[in-house]
Amino acid sequence: MKQQTIEKKFRSRPQAVVKAERLTEKVGRKCEVDTGLMQDICIAVTEAVNNAVEHGNNLEPDKFVTLRFDCFENLIRITVGDEGPGFDVGLVADPLSPENLTKPNGRGLLIVESLMDEVSIKPSAAGTVVVMVKNLVKKR
Amino acid sequence: MQIKHVTSGDVAVLHLQGKIMGGPDATSLHEKLHELIESGTRSVVIDLRDVDWMNSSGLGILIGGLSAIRKSGGDLRLASVTEKIEEVLRITKLDRVFDVYGSTDEAVTSYES
């Protein structure tokens, strides 16, 4: 399969996560990604886009979230960028500690890191960029 | 995501369908759970057999509903979780927080004991 790149920008509105998920499904079909892996990828993309819209861009509709897919033969790399002020990853509370276990939020990053094969987060004053890689198993 | 509400005795059963990922859909589930709690419902079963997957927004809504209903002396139990949701519950250790049953019938009858 030839390498393919698909990129789209979304305004920072709650609906962005639904649009991002639809785009992810479309990319998955185009790149013939296995259904089980697609679920992991969809969950990770919606987590990253939710974070970018709500925490990165603080739901400001004039700010955009960029979602990019780079599909290769054996892996898919997903990049999610926001235009927010950035954050300190080290300050994210451990969602597995007993005092946080029943809190309604704070699990997104844990889930992304568990479901994807590689995750990197690069915060900066110009925005945060999350890069996620999933190794692919082709449909038979 | 679609929500179908049925009642079995004193137990409210919410049958969810689709994907739970945040955004406008998640708001409707949050509102439905709190509507049930405010109307005095104390026993809730969430049937997840037709939910392909959920992310942390979905989990947050369920845990928020669970906390609210337990404060009022009730409980919220999960039924028929799919493989992917089971994995996400395990990753987040929420499988230790929620009571999970193999079927809606089992979850409903668990309130009788």
The CATH architecture annotation of domain A4-135 reads 2-Layer Sandwich (3.30)
CB atoms within 10 A of CB B46: 27
Closest C-alpha among B75, B78, B20 to residue B46: B78
Q: Mean pLDDT in chain A?
A: 92
CA distance A83 to A111: 23
B32: pLDDT strictly greater than 70: yes
The reported pLDDT for the residue numbered A137 is: 67
Domain range summary for chain A, segments of one domain joined by +: 4-135
Question: CA A139 from chain center: how many Å?
Answer: 23
Residues of A in contact with B67 (CB under 8 A): 102, 104
| pLDDT tens, residue by residue, A81-120 | 999 998 777 888 999 999 999 999 999 999 999 999 999 9
Which band of pLDDT confidence, cut at 50, 70 and 90, is reported for residue A1?
low
CATH of B2-112, picked from 3.30.1950.10, 3.30.750.24, 3.90.480.10, 3.40.50.1000, is 3.30.750.24
The reported pLDDT for the residue numbered A125 is: 87
The neighbouring-strand residues paired with B43 are B11, B75
Closest C-alpha among A115, A113, A119, A114 to residue A131: A119
B8 touches chain A (CB under 8 A): no
Domain range summary for chain B, segments of one domain joined by +: 2-112
Q: How far is B44 from chain A (nearest CA, A)?
A: 18
| pLDDT tens, residue by residue, B63-90 | 999 999 999 999 999 999 999 999 999 9
A103 touches chain B (CB under 8 A): yes
**Interface contact B23-A114, CB threshold 8 A:** no
The answer to whether the beta carbons of residues A41 and A33 sit under 8 Å apart is: yes
Residue A41's SS3 state is helix
| pLDDT tens, residue by residue, A10-23 | 999 999 999 999 99
